[in-house]
Structure 1
Amino acid sequence: MSGWRIGLALVALSILAGVPWYGSDVLVQFGINALLLAVLAQGWNIIGGYTGYPSFGNSVFYGLGGYGVAIAMVQWRLPFAVGLFFGVALALLFALVLGLPVLRLKGHYFAIATLVLSQVMTAIVSNLRLAGQNIGLVLPPLNNDPLFYELALALLASATLTIFWLTRSRFGFGLIAIRENEEAAAVMGVNTTWYKVLAFALSGLFSALAGGIHAYWITFLDPASAFDLGLNVKMIIMAVFGGPGTVLGPVVGALSLAAVSEFLASEVTSIAGLFFGVVIVVAVVLMPLGLADMLRRFRTTGWRYFIENIRAHRL
């Protein structure tokens, strides 16, 4: 990465870090939510963008991270940090145990299998007394939004640096090889099974940490909200809109779509629910490889970029 890009990233990070000091309470609360969504989009980017496996099961990791914090703090009276560790341990165990059989599937078979995981986990947790069953758990309040904001920002920075590392590591090259041609990658000596499981686990790690921070922030958790499939759809749309398989694409996609969605929800509530559906159509038709690809190619091809994509979809 060139020096000016590093400098620009540091300036952007400094501006974001200062929001709790110069922004309103509403802006800080919006920032927490948007930053955590960006973390989820980056987490999905590892398994979906770099490995090429369209996972609909990352909401399970998010829920396990939240329940790890909730159970540790409410049932066992342990600190928040211990709860985060417990939630991550649950997510990694889930990724390793179920990743081996599920990641043997490909394409829509894998997508359907992961789609079912959140529903199964909702049913399991709803019958666990330790997890509060259907009623859920109420966490002890901590009225410190600036702290949660900085935690979310630090987590996003860590996730983005991990993605940057992937683009320059043997492990990352292996994931890209699997995405492009899994059979050829296996012939070249890539242990595709373990690479995919490790990518699934790494994706789950960031999702679980985001879920744990969010659970403590809102101080309430129940199975329906913890394993919400709609959240998984959001993280996929944000990553695809920004540019899957890129370092900053999912971050830009998440922050921009979160801002527009928040505006529509407050100003034009009647069409806010249609927003993400429209985004899917626009992204698939006009810029199938996301904002990152569009910005890179638009400088050389101009409006032909959109015309070529429209023709490719025969519209």
Structure 2
Amino acid sequence: MKAWHIGLIGAAVLVLAGVPWYGSDVLIQFGINALLLAVLAQGWNIIGGYTGYASFGNSVFYGLGAYGVAIAMVQWHLPFEVGMVFGVVLAVVFAVLLGIPVLRLKGHYFAIATLALSQVMAAIVSNIPLAGQNIGLVLPPLNNDRLFYELSLGLLVIATLTIFWLTRSRFGFGLIAIRENEEGAAVMGVNTTLYKVMAFALSGIFSALAGGIHAYWITFLDPDSAFDISLNVKMIIMAVFGGAGTVLGPIVGALSLSAISEFLSSEVTSIAGLFFGIVIVAAVVLMPRGLADMFRRFRKTGWRYFSENIRAHRL
């Protein structure tokens, strides 16, 4: 990474860090949501972008992290920090126990297997008294949006640094090898099962931390909102739109799509629900490798970049 790239990224982080001090309450609240979505997109990027396994189960990690915080604070009267640790432990245990059998599947079989996890987990939690069953849990309020914003931004920075580390580590190279050719990676000595489970667990950690922050911020949690499959769809779309398998692509995708979606929701409510569907089609057909790849290649190929992708998809 060039020096001016690092300087530009550092300047962007400083601008984002200053939002709570010069932005309105509405902007801060939008920022919390957008930053947490960016964290979720980065978390999915580990298992989906670098390992090549399109997981629809990351919303389960989000829900476990949220319930870890809620149960610790409401039922056990423990501090927020302990709840975050508890939520991460739940997510890691779930990722390991589920990942060992499920990650043996590939392609659409893996996607289908993880697709139903959110509904199954919501049904299970709905019958656990400790988790409030169907009624849910009400967390103690903390009216401090600045704190939640900085926590969200700090978590995003950590997630991005982790992705950057992956691009330069033996572990990251192993994940990329699995994505490109899993059989070949195994022949070259990569313990594919261990690497995939570790990637699944690492992805779950960031999703759980984001869920814990969001639960404490909104102060209410129930099974349907905690294990919402549409949240998983959003994180996939944002990662793919920005550029799955890149360091900054999921952040660009999450922040840009969050801003556009917020504008459409407030200005043109009737078509806001169609927006993400249009994004999926546009991203797959026009720029299947996301904005990051488009910016890199557009300078060389110009508008031919889009026509080449269209021809490649036989449209």
Could you list the structure 1 runs, at least 4 aligned residues long, displaced by more than 3 angstroms after superposition. Answer: none
Deviations 1:16-68 (A, max 9, x none): 00000000000000000000000000000000000000000000000000000
Flag structure 2 segments of 5+ consecutive residues without an equivalent.
Answer: none
| In 1, Cα distance between equivalents of 2:49 and 2:279 | 18
1:213-267 superposed Cα distances (whole Å, 9 cap, x missing partner): 0000000000000000000000000000000000000000000000000000011
Per-residue Cα deviation, 1:120-162 (whole angstroms, up to 9, x for no partner): 1010000000000001000000000000000000000000000
1:163-193 C-alpha deviation (Å, 9 max, x unpaired): 0000000000000000000000000000000
The aligned residue for residue 172 of structure 2 is: 172
* 1:96-111 matched pairs, under 5 angstroms: 96-111=96-111
Instruction: Describe the SS at the equivalent of 1:55.
Output: coil
Instruction: Output the CA distance in 1 between the equivalents of 2:311 and 2:89.
Output: 47
Q: Alpha-carbon deviation of 1:313? A: 1.7
The TM-score, its normalising length taken from structure 2, stands at 1.00
1:196 alignment counterpart: 196
- The alpha-carbon deviation at position 2 of structure 1 amounts to 1.3
1:133-172 alignment runs, 5 A limit: 133-172=133-172
1:8 match: 8
Q: Report the RMSD for the aligned CA atoms in angstroms.
A: 0.4
Question: What amino acid does structure 1 have at the position aligned with 2:258?
Answer: A
Q: Which residue is equivalent to 1:46? A: 46
**Aligned-partner Cα distance in 1 for 2:90–2:297:** 42
1:215 equivalenced with 2:209 (yes/no): no
Secondary structure class of the residue paired with 2:142: coil
What's the counterpart of residue 264 of structure 2?
Answer: 264
Between the aligned residues of both structures, percent identity stands at 84
AA aligned to 2:291 is L
Give the Cα separation in 2 of the matches to 1:195 and 1:285: 31
- Which residue of 2 is the match for residue 59 of structure 1? 59
Question: Residue 187 of structure 2 aligns to which amino acid in structure 1?
Answer: V
Q: Which amino acid aligns with 1:273?
A: G
Question: Aligned partners of 2:89, 2:314: CA distance in 1, in Å?
Answer: 47
In the other structure, the counterpart of 1:225 is: 225
Please tell me whether residue 255 in structure 1 is matched to residue 259 in structure 2. no
CA distance in 2, matches of 1:3, 1:249: 19
Q: Secondary structure at the match of 1:121?
A: helix
**1:254 maps to amino acid:** A
Tell me the amino acid that sits aligned with residue 192 of structure 1.
Answer: T
Q: Partners of 2:21 and 2:82 in 1: how far apart?
A: 29
Q: How far did 1:116 drift?
A: 1.2
Alignment-derived partner of residue 121 in structure 2: 121
Q: Per-residue deviation at 1:314? A: 2.0
Gaps of 5+ in 1: none
Cα separation, 1, equivalents of 2:77 and 2:236: 35
Query: Which deviations, in whole Å up to 9, do the C-alpha atoms of 1:49-97 show, x marking residues without a partner?
Result: 0000000000000000000000000000000000000000000000011
Q: Structure 1 residue 23 and structure 2 residue 23: aligned?
A: yes
| AA aligned opposite 2:78 | L
Residue 168 of structure 1 aligns to a residue in which SS?
coil
Mapped to 2, the partners of 1:116 and 1:285 lie a distance apart of 27
Aligned residues: 315
Letter in 2 for 1:91: A
SS at match of 1:189: coil
